Amino acid sequence: MTIDDLRNKGLIILECISGSRAYGLDTPSSDTDIKGVFLLPKEEYYGLDYIPQVNNESNDIMFYEFGRFMQLLSVNNPNILELLNTPESAVIYKHPLLNEIKSEMILSKYCANTFGKFALSQIKKAKGLKKKILNPVSEDRKNILSFCFVNYEHGSIPLEKFLEIKGWKQENCGLINIPNMQDVYGLYYSDELLLNGIMRSSDSNDVCLSSIPKSLKQESLLYFNRNGYSIYCKEYREYWDWVKNRNEDRYISTESHGKKYDAKNMMHVFRLLEMAIEIGKEGKVNVKRPNRQFLLDIKAGKYEYNKLIEMANEKKSEMEIAFKNSTLPDKPNLNYINNITYLIRDKFYSIGT
């Protein structure tokens, strides 16, 4: 099933412009994202070929099957509540049957959790980008030698420094386990014997052991910081995966404002928290934002990161108070959602597409 199939078969019952253009936060460089809802043909819905979602390759056009749409509404999913309450100016098409869904019958105090968690995830993303920008990982990948240390004189030094002092090659070294001392090895050296070295190759993930003759003198003790190497490998992989897959326009924007965090994520933190406060106080979802300039100033990087975190914590507290005093039910009305889901699907199938 493709988006063209949905259009050609008349299965789309809601199609909206979403994202920044729906929020009223678009700028000349903003993309146009499309979201909507479709109803599977009766035979496919009742058969084995249920399809919960259809989207294009770039995910900027996405349609949810009606059952999936309603299921997400039943848990007060922020994205789906926004889609249901898209302002008329951003609605491309809406089937009259969808007017029977009353948003006020779906909203609940769940929104404090769903919107709040969504907002916190945006802070985490912004912070994650900040960490990557401030702590770049060199493309030259370290090997396990960089995580090995030996006792030397009255302390310890990195293995690579030790080898340099001695004029030794790692290939001529040999290691044996030291009983009762985890990740500590006896270090031996010989220019004549064929020892296995400390590592077999530069991409080895563990040190290499050798069979050591009793006549060979132990030169030192070697400690392999196995945990440090494991953490480094994870950070290296995550950083260079991010470099490979990052949104370059987003990254350039972050670099240009010089604050070293993802300002767009931080903008969404405040949008989500403010929407949640309005839901708690007013019992309705306001998708189009009234404070466009403030949110765009955040996106432009006009605030310091620590100041934004302080302001976000204040908004979070305001949200918690709003829901504590709210007259909304604790949970969504599942009986209503179940009944309206059945009625709309039944009517759609009755009248045909």
Q: Is the pLDDT of residue 168 over 50?
A: yes
- Using one digit for the tens of pLDDT, what is the confidence trace for 118-131? 887 777 665 554 45
Please check whether residue 49 is in contact with residue 81, taking contact to mean a CB–CB distance below 8 angstroms: no
Is 0.85 topped by the overall pTM?
no
CA distance 220 to 152: 8
> Which residues face 151 on adjacent strands?
156
- Domain 1-106+332-353 is of which CATH architecture? 2-Layer Sandwich (3.30)
Q: Domain limits of the chain?
A: 1-106+332-353, 108-136+247-328, 144-230
> Which segment of 83-92, 210-219, 232-241, 270-279 scores lowest on mean pLDDT?
232-241
